[in-house]
Amino acid sequence: MPFPNPAMEYRRLGRSGLKVSVLSFGSWVTFDNQLGVDTALECMEAAHEHGCNFFDNAEAYAGGKSEEIMGEVIARLGWPRWSYVVTTKVFWGIHGDVPNMRNTLNRKYLMHAIDGSLERFGLDFVDVLYCHRSDPDTPLEETVWAMSDIVSSGKALYWGTSEWSADEIVAAIQIAERHHLHKPVTEQSQYNLLERKRVEREYARLVADHGYGNTIWSPLASGVLTGKYRDGIPEGSRGALGGYEWLRDRLTASETIAKVENLRPIAEELGCTMAQLSLAWCTLNPAVSSVITGASRVEQVHDNFGALAVIPLLTPEVVERIEAAVR
């Protein structure tokens, strides 16, 4: 299938002019932990064939290895740089418990972090650089100036935030406007049928007043919305990975599983998977610029992007049934 896929919708990233595919592909958990370069290549190539132009990463994913894998895949595929959007996030650091290199957004860290990410990607710039969390120990004005300078340098084209409060984002926008700096244009926050409050309530005024974008993560609630955790933790799933023990109780909580199972008959009536149903639902929110999907094998990529065909089936009546199922 040639790129772009006419079935794919491309949305502006907030009020910026940058257009991103409504379904995108990210590397959290999977790259290096579950995918090597060859399988990552298969997955990214499949996503691209479905019309995906937006690929998300982060410095902290697999200690920088995720960026290396994605960069090698892009080089192998030989995609022209103008044909895709690649993003990354910085905050946690990868150099251990070193002053100025961990859990910070101070100027020194940010300048080192963007250079490190670009080296691992093998790229001259990223399209969007996110502050992976907010930093209460660094003056916000320092962070805004540094991020704006990174954009001015051409090492990133836009900048954004991830899991910041609405008040922090508005304050950053106001600082940028006051000093005629590059403003943040997008958030990256968790949003799915089971986690809705921040996006739908806290950010409502932010979106209305500033047109802030959002490239949401965990649209399947770490996989629980696929229904695969109904009978426990399957071998090879995210819940079975070492280092993700904190997820297991959440994935198998009886109340959560009961809500998810209420979605199964709706998906069966529509002739789609539960994953496709949940992904399609996320796209209905006009404040969502892109829904970041993940996969540990290429079959999951094809299944996830099959959600494009489900979106037109979500009539107001069907949406009400979906939301009542998990209410």
Question: Hey, what amino acid is at 134?
Answer: S
Structure tokens, 80: 């022209």
Cβ atoms of 196 and 169 closer than 8 Å: no
* CA 173/CA 153 separation, integer angstroms: 19
Q: Which of 292, 299, 251, 241 is nearest to 34 (CA)?
A: 241
Burial of 320 (0-12, 13-18, 19+ CB in 10 A): exposed
Tokens of 215: 């490239």
Candidate list 10, 61, 130, 191, residue with the active-site label:
61
Quote the CA–CA distance of 34 and 296 in Å, as a whole number: 6
Active site residue 61: yes
The set of residues, in sequence order, having a beta carbon less than 8 Å from that of 208 and lying 6+ positions away, is: none
Which residues are known to be catalytic? Answer: 61
